[in-house]
Every structure is written in structure tokens, then in C-alpha cells.
Chain A
Amino acid sequence: MVAIVGPSGSGKSTLLNLIGGLDRPSEGEITLDGEKLGNLPDDQLTRVRRDKIGFIFQFFNLLASLSAAENVALPLHLRGWSRGKVRDRAEELLELVGLSQRAEHLPEELSGGERQRVAIARALSVYPPVLLADEPTGNLDSVNGAGILALLHDLHQRLGTTILIVTHDVTVAEGCQRIVTLRDGSIIEDRRL
């Protein structure tokens, strides 16, 4: 688990977006699993994103019209999985984040913590090797934030997923094995705990 910290405008989110293939670098290269992302065509990039990376956002970014289960199933459907397989996996993921009983609820009927759990379940869809989390607790109160943090730690342990967390929160950063500090777009400190 890696935390990326730094003041506003230091380039944390940009770094995350570059790693996640949401954005392209104007110079330099991003290599993921031996693949250079910079040169890939759009759809190829999407495939990398889909298979190797899961995103967790500060504002959850759930689709308001879809239920929790449907939101989780979204990336699976996009992969063209069969309906049965999608249903099974979605159930499994929701159970993993502890939300089985709220599967049919719409996002607006869930609490902030629950929404972030749904988002995490969606990010895990095919158990990607890397999870990218942009201020996952930034929009939550401390109790819910701690719960989410605990869940992320738990997943890291159980699934061995690499997790990159962009955060302001010192307590979040300190729970990680490595802390990278950025300022004005450059790494000024890289500390392993």
C-alpha cells in the first residue's frame, strides 16, 4: 500500500490519473506490468484499465440510476460476461465489502460509507492487481473513513492487491507501507515504513 501525499496542486491526482491511464503524459513514460501506456491507442488503454486497474474516487462516482448491484456489475457487463456470471460475481463482491443486504438500493438511499464500499466493490470487479484511490475518505466523516480504510487494508492483506492512495489525511498515509510526498509536480520524499 502506497500513500501519495502533498499540498493542493502538487500533482497527486495527475500522477494517479496518469498511472490509471485516464490521462496521457506529455513527457516521460508510464510502465504498467511491462506495458508502456503512453503509446497505446484509446481502446487498448481502456482494456489495460479494465483488466489491471480499479478506481476509487472521492465522490464515489456511482451511477445514480443504477442499484448497488448494478453499479458493481457495470464493469463486468462491459466485459461482456454472461448474465449469470455477472450476477454471481456482483454478489461475491458486495459480500466482500459487507453490503449484500443492500444490493438493490439506489446510491441515494445509501450512506456515504456504504456508497464508497459499493465503489470499492466496483473497482475490484475482476480483482485487478492495482487499485487507485483518490481521497477515498475525503468526503466521509471519521467513523466511516476509518471503516473504509480498514476495508482497504483488509483487501490488501487478503487479495494482495497493490493500492495507491492519494490523501491529505496523515492517519491514512501512516497506515501505508510507503509514503511518497509530492510538491509542485516533483517527488520530494519517498519513505518506506
Chain B
Amino acid sequence: MRMLALLTWPYVRKHRLRSLLTLAGIVIGVAVFVGMHTANRNVGSAFARTVDRIAGKAQLQVSAGETGFPEETLEKVQSLREVGAAAPVIEAVLNTGREGQGNLLVLGVDMTGDRSLREYDLEDEDVIDDPLIFLAQPDSMIVSKQFAGRNGIERGGKLKLETMEGEKEFTVRGIMKAEGLAQAFGGNLAVMDIYAAQLVFGRGRMFDRIDIGLAEGVSVEECRKKLEALLGPGFQVETPSTRSGHFEAVSRALGITINITSLFALLIGVFIIYNSFSIAITERRSEIGILRALGASRGRVLGMFLGESLAAGLVGSSIGIWLGLLLGGAMTPVLGTMVQEVYGAPQAGEGSEAQWWLIAAALGIGMLASVAGGILPARAAARVDPVKALQKGQFQVIAAGENRMRRLVAFAMWAVALACLMGEGVTFYAGYLLMVTGVILLTPALAGWLARALRPALRWLRPVEGALAADSLIQAPRRTSATVAALMLSLALAVGFAGITRATYGSLLRWMNDTLNPDLFVWPTESITSRTFRFPASVEKELSEIEGIEEVQGVRNARVLIGGLPAMAISVSIEISSRRVPVMAVEGDPKEMLPLAAAGKGVIIADNLSRLRGLHKGDMLELDTPSGRTRLPILGVTVDYSDQQGAFLIDRSLYRKLWRDETLNGCRVYLKPGASEEKVKAEIVKRLGSHRRLFIFTNEAIREYILNITNQWFGLTYVQVAVALLVAVLGIVNTLTVSITDRRRELAILQAVGGLRRQVRHTIWLEAAAIGFIGLVLGLAVGAVTLYYNLEMLKRDAIGLLLPFEYPYGFAAALLPVILLVSFVAALWPGEAAVRASLVESLEYE
């Protein structure tokens, strides 16, 4: 410790900027780790909290997937001796249409039902003025105090919301206190009478859920078993905490992405630390020599530098954690909206929450990364020979054997990595890690080789400046290679993401072109993925009577559980599908499977469901429906991108029978040849629009919509690119700062023999550009590998999608000018520092 205070602190103070940059490596890594996890966690816990708050005192909840169930179920549930109290609930997420207010979770509760489960008293005069008026008027609504405050709504005020019956004005007849339930869904919560909600949201006589309080002396497990036996397998009887656990299953793909990103960010941090420490040790060689000459043991020197890296890790992690928490807070709403769009899970991102385990983990990881980056340079420092270190002008050259060793290890790693391709799961991904580690080991060699290749080009560009810039890189590959490695990794990650985007786009477009062929989509909501609003079955008939419409295909999509995990049931008339939609079969013959499926003799599953669950043609799909457990044969497997969790196609007649659900999510409309799209649209609005909430999308609009959703997911690519650019700036500034220190004399000579300041600057800029370029070239190469593994991951473990490998050339090409520009920006300050150095001192400088 004393050595640290004595020797390190003055060094740090002297090299303030470089020390900051060193810390920045760890700061970024830790901040990304903490930020991403905090955001994910916030969204997850917001969901859990919403479930929790809404559940109130309920010890068990009965639901039937997303499909809801008939009201009669309530009486059945109430008849059980084990059930003390039972309260039905309907949930709907509505767009408030107010700028920045996001969505509103509307909870339908039975206001005249059992209140013992509620932790709130809705009938209190502090909440509702007049309960009788509230019940008598279906437009009555209670909103949370937070929501009312944010929107300037007072009791008796109006609130316009989209409903089944078009835009409807609600009257706020009550305001909930800002506690308990009102905090669910980030405070964007409203409560309605459940029967009014049924009407307004087109739910018929269905409930979404029943909250249950146990009878005295009955255990949760006992009651759960009884309820399951009573209701059959189509229902889920769960505790509120299990229910919120589903979120985790749903956000798994996101979790994987976050972990990869954090890992990369930390690796990058390791390189920056490694870079800075290597340089510091080169610079402080004589200091180390003196220490050793004065009797410090090797262990002492090693300890001192490890102590430095630990201290750097501690400080960097602390700042990183703080930044990460800020970042997490900022990302939470974005992530929340994204998850909601894609999964329709009712939750709203709330304030950031610090988590002790996360902070401890981040601190640990940050310190570990810092030590990992510092250990090699520290060992090198310990090996410094005191005699040589003190001789002026003598440099200790790293043993040439090391490079050979590195090459051997790298090739060995690649060989193992190739073997790992055969493996699965952890083995497979370990292959990726080995592959990347191999490249990292070879980075100095590769960077040197690339610099040599670049020399003629740079010389041609600027005879003196270019040659000097290239030589600077060639002579000191270690100075450059850590920056190059960091840049390479971050760009590789960005390329990997961009590749997925491209592949997804390509596949989606192809799929849409081939199968998404209805002329119009008539939906009760502006969000096709939202399943809050539904049409009654009669809409199908009403539409088909309109002039110019040839055929209408009602669609009911419902999230159901298969083996406890969510999947999407798509129920349509398969007879219509077989005529209208070409099938891209992966297993089975469309000519055989379609008639069978149309006759309700089985289901057709999407390829991703097949891949995720290991289901194939001829297997039985076990479905738990409100009519009990049903086993349906799988008639075939087709390409279908409908759902990330996997979808299956079931004929509507069979679905209606099994789920007793008559509602529709929307209708696909085929026009008669020659019919005017505009005219038909106008007619639909005229005939149905007056009494129904509906949105008509053209085929084009739907395509755009789907691509938009995809885009949101891939917004992460831009985050990646941003991180890559930041790394580039940091690394390059760092490397150049050291480079100009190392080359002080060289730069001074240049000026002494007549180099203008401009020319000195050019040398620095060109060096920066070369570093950026080399990092880019390697990054693009490693990006190809990363992309391959990303696609495999999506296919094998995340969403079961089989995407083709398509290198994102456009993205790569766009990166070139961006990286060069960023390199240039990074070189500005070091360039100025270089020309400001005193010539006389520099010339005498050894």
C-alpha cells in the first residue's frame, strides 16, 4: 500500500488523462453490464410488481392462458370448500394516446363482488364520490393518483381511450390513493367495473382471471390441487409469484443478448487496462529498475502493479456502477415498451432499482477484469532486469519465442473450436470463445502484418508522414494491439447484430412476400400484436357481405401453454389458407397435411416451434385447453415467423370447440379481382365503423408494421455501434498518447529538420486512421464468426428461427467512413499534444 501511495499516485497525477482513459475501459464494461441488467431487471420486477400489486391478497390465481374463460367458472370455483374468496378480473392495456404517457393498464374488477381480496377500498368516498353512479354508468373509471396528476385529470374529468366501440370518452369518477394497487404498472393504472370492462373490451361473458383467497386452515397446495382437479388442465392455477416468473421465460432471448453485450464490454475493458498497464510499465521501466536495485523483490513489484490494477478496478467499477444505474434507469422505459410491443406482457418500466447482488457482482467482475488486464504487464514488470533498465538507451526486447508460442496456442484453440462445432450447448459456445481468444492472441501479429501491408498505401498518401505512421505501428505492435483488439471485438459484436438484422429482414420479407397475401387486414386495434381487443365472430360475416370482398378469414391468435412454456395458437379456417396461402413445408406434404388440418384432424406447427421443442411430424402435440387435455397429431412443419416463441396452426372450428372461444383477433380480407381497395375500405368503415372500433390495414401497411417491430429489436445494433465507437475513441486516444510519448524524439527530429506542425499532426492522424482501419478489418472478419454463432444461438436456443447467413456488407461498408472519422476525432487531441511538446527537451529525451 505504501508503495502504491508513494509511487503510483504521482504517476497517476502526472498522467491524469491516461489514467482516466484506463479507468474508462472498466467503467464502460461495468456500466454496460449494470445498465443492461438493471434495465432488464427493472422491466422484470415492474412486471412482477404489477402482478403482485394487482393480486393484492390473492393467494392463488386461476387463468386459462390468454384466452380467458366463461363466467360460469367463477361459480364453480366459489363452490369449492377450500376457496374462501374468489374475485374475477379482466386486464386490458390501452394506449392513452397522450404524448409520453404510454399505455394504461385497465383492471376490471367486480365492484359488487367479494372485497376481502382487495387491499384497497374502492367504495370509500375518498376514492369514489358515488358508488351507485359509478356502477350505473359503464363509462366510469378510477385512475391512480399518479396518472391523474401526470395528465391533469380531476374527479369528474374525461379521458378518451380507444375501445371496442371506437374511441370512447370515460369519466373519471374516482382517484386511487398513490399506494398499493395504484403503483402497479408504473402508476398507469385504471380500475373499472368488470362488467363494464367486458362490454367495452369486447370480451363477451368471459373473465381473464380469478383471484382466490384460501378458506381458513387450507394450505395453498391443497387448494391448488382441488382447483386443478375441478377445472381440468386448460386452466392454470398459480400463485402470483409463479405468474410473474413467466416473464423470465419470455425475456430469455433478451437476457442472452444482454449477457453477450456485457461480456464483450468487459473484455474490451480488459484490453484497455492491459494496454494502459503495458505502456505504463514500459515508461516506468527505470523506476522499476531503481526499486529492484534498492532491494525490492520481484514479488513486491508484481504486488505493486497488481495492487494498482485492483485499485483501478475498484475505482472504475464504482464509477461504472453509478453510470450503469443511470443508464439502466434511462433504458428501462425503452426496454419496457419493446417487451410490451413484442410480447404484450402487461408491465411498465418504473424507476431504477439498485440491486445489491448486481452491484456486488459488477464490482467483482470489474476488479477481476482489471486484474486480468493487469496481470501480464505486472508479470512483465516483475521480470524487469535492474541492470538493463538503468542503462540509458537500452531496451529490453520481448523474447521472440513469445510470438511463436502465441501462434501455436492460437492455432490449437482454433482447432479445438472447430471440433466444438460438432458439440451442442455449452461446448458449442465454448468454441466461439476459443475462436475469439485465438484471434485475440494473434492480434499483435495480425496488426503488425496489416500495418506492413498498409505502409505502401500510407507512404503513397504522404511520403514522410504516412511512412512514419505505419512504422510507428509496425515497431510497437503491443502499443497498438490492445486497442485494435478492443475495437475488433466491439465491431465484431456490432457486425454480428447487424447480420442478424439483415438475415431477419431478408427472411421476413421473403415470408411476407410468399404468404402474407390478404389485401386488407381488419383489426380492432392499431397494434396487431396486442390481443386486448377482440371482434365477436359475427364480424367475419358482416365483412363478407360487403361488396367487393371475395373472402374473409377470421384469425384468432392466442398465447397458450405447451408443456408449461408459452407458444402461439393461430386458429384460422385452414380450408381458406390451403387455397390462398402457399405453404413452405419443412416436413410433410402440404397436399396431405392441409385437408387433414382443415378437418380438425391435427395441427401444423411452425419450424421454430419444432426446433425449440424438438417436435416433428407424426408426434403428438399435447394441449391443455379449457375442455381438458387434448392430444393432437402434428401433421407437418412449415416455415412461419408469426411468433418468437413458436406458433402452431389449428383450424378455427377445432379451436372454438376446445377453447370455447368465439372471439377474433382480426380478419384477413381478400378482395374480388378488380375491386377498388379504397372503395371497400370506405364501405367497411361505413358499415361497421359506426358501432365498432376497427382499423383497416393494407397489405403494405402490415408489412411496414412487422418490419418496424423488428427494427425496434435491432435498435440494439446501434447501441453496439455506439459502444464500438466509444471504444475506438478511448483506445485510439490512449494508444496515440503513448505513441507520441514514445516517439517524442522522432517527432522533434521531424520538426528540427523542417517538418511543419501540420505535418506532425498528419503523422498522428494517419496513425490513428491506420489503427482504426486495422481494427475495422479484423472486426469485420471476427464479425463474420460472431454472426455465425449468433444465428446458431437464435436457431438452437432462443427463438428457433432458422436464418440464412448473409454478411451485412452494406453495414460493413458504412462502418469504414465512420471509423475513419472517429479515429480522426480521437487523434485531434494527441495531435495537438504532439506539436506542443518542447523541441529541445524532446531532442535530448532518451
Contacts and interface: CB of A to CB of B under 8 A. Distances in A.
A–B proximity contact (CB within 8 A): yes
Interface of A: 17, 20, 22-23, 42-43, 46-47, 49-51, 55, 57, 61-66, 70, 73-75, 77-79, 83, 86, 122-123, 125
Given A23-B840, A50-B754, A78 B464 contact: yes
Interface stretch (B187-195, B468-476, B630-638, B723-731): B468-476
A140 to B, nearest CB: 16
B565 interface: no
A61 B463 contact: no
A78 B474 contact: no
B756 interface: yes
Interface string B743-765: 00110011111111111000000
A46 B754 CA distance: 6
B839 interface: yes
A63 B756 contact: no
B417 interface: no
A123 B843 CA distance: 15
Contacts of A62: 749
Nearest to B838: A23
B467 interface: yes
Contacts of A65: 467-468, 471-472, 474-475
Nearest to A49: B754
Contacts of A46: 751, 754-757
Given A17-B840, A66-B471, A55 B463 contact: no
Given A66-B467, A79-B754, 13 more contacts: A20-B752, A23-B840, A43-B758, A46-B751, A46-B756, A49-B754, A61-B749, A61-B752, A65-B475, A66-B471, A70-B467, A77-B464, A125-B754
B750 A23 contact: no
Nearest 4 Cβ contacts at the A-B interface: A50-B754, A65-B471, A77-B464, A77-B463
Indicate the member of A23, A46, A83 with the most B CB atoms within 10 Å.
A46
B757 A61 contact: no
Given A17-B840, A23-B839, A75 B753 contact: yes
Contacts of A61: 745, 749, 752, 843
Interface string B820-844: 0000000000000000000110010
Which label, helix, strand, loop or mixed, suits the secondary structure of the B interface?
helix
Contact of A125 (B745, B746, B753, B759): B753
Nearest to A60: B749
Contacts of A17: 839-840
Given A63-B468, A65-B468, A75 B754 contact: yes
20 contacts: A20-B752, A23-B839, A46-B757, A47-B756, A49-B754, A50-B753, A50-B754, A61-B752, A63-B468, A63-B749, A65-B467, A65-B471, A65-B474, A66-B468, A70-B467, A74-B464, A74-B750, A75-B754, A78-B755, A86-B463
Nearest to B754: A50
- Counting chain A CB atoms within 10 Å of each CB, the highest count among B746, B749, B753 belongs to B753
Nearest to A22: B839
Contacts of B751: 46
B740 to A, nearest CB: 15
A43 B756 contact: yes
A30 B565 CA distance: 87
Most chain B Cβ neighbours within 10 Å, of A47, A50, A64: A50
B753 A78 contact: yes
Q: Majority SS of interface residues in chain A?
A: helix
A4 B357 CA distance: 72
Interface size band for B: 20 to 34
Contact of A83 (B463, B471, B758, B839): B463
A74 B753 contact: yes
B197 to A, nearest CB: 78
A51 B753 CA distance: 9
A47 B745 CA distance: 20
Nearest to B745: A61
B753 A122 contact: yes
Nearest to B466: A77
A103 to B, nearest CB: 16
A46 B755 CA distance: 7
Nearest to A42: B757
A57 B464 CA distance: 21
A74 B755 CA distance: 9
Nearest to B835: A42
A49 B746 CA distance: 17
A55 to B, nearest CB: 5
Interface in B229-250: none
A65 B465 CA distance: 12
A162 B751 CA distance: 21
B754 A43 contact: no
Contacts of A42: 757
A20 B840 CA distance: 11
B471 A78 contact: no
A50 B839 CA distance: 14
A73 B474 CA distance: 21
Interface in B141-195: none
A78 B752 contact: no
B839 A63 contact: no
Contacts of B754: 46-47, 49-51, 75, 78-79, 125
A78 B843 CA distance: 19
A181 B606 CA distance: 96
B470 to A, nearest CB: 9
Contacts of B474: 65
Contacts of A51: 754
A173 to B, nearest CB: 22
A127 B488 CA distance: 48
A23 B463 CA distance: 27
Nearest to A126: B754
A130 to B, nearest CB: 13
A140 B232 CA distance: 101
Contact of B753 (A23, A55, A70, A86): A55
B750 A78 contact: yes
Contacts of A64: 475
Nearest to A48: B754
A115 B730 CA distance: 38
B748 to A, nearest CB: 8
A37 to B, nearest CB: 13
A47 B468 CA distance: 21
Interface string B469-485: 00110110000000000
B716 to A, nearest CB: 43
A20 to B, nearest CB: 8
Contacts of B475: 64-65
B843 A57 contact: yes
Nearest to B462: A77
A78 B839 contact: no
Interface in B205-238: none
B755 A22 contact: no
Contacts of A20: 752
A190 to B, nearest CB: 25
A62 B759 CA distance: 18
Contacts of A79: 754
Contact of A22 (B463, B464, B752): B752
Interface in B653-688: none
Contact of B752 (A43, A47, A49, A86): A49
Interface in B54-96: none
Contacts of B843: 22, 57, 61
A79 B749 CA distance: 15
Nearest to B464: A77
- Best-buried of B467, B757, B758 by chain A (most CB within 10 Å): B467
A78 to B, nearest CB: 5
A139 to B, nearest CB: 11
Nearest to A54: B753
Nearest to A62: B749
Contacts of A77: 463-464
Nearest to B759: A78
B419 to A, nearest CB: 42
Contacts of B463: 73, 77, 83, 86
Contacts of B468: 63, 65-66
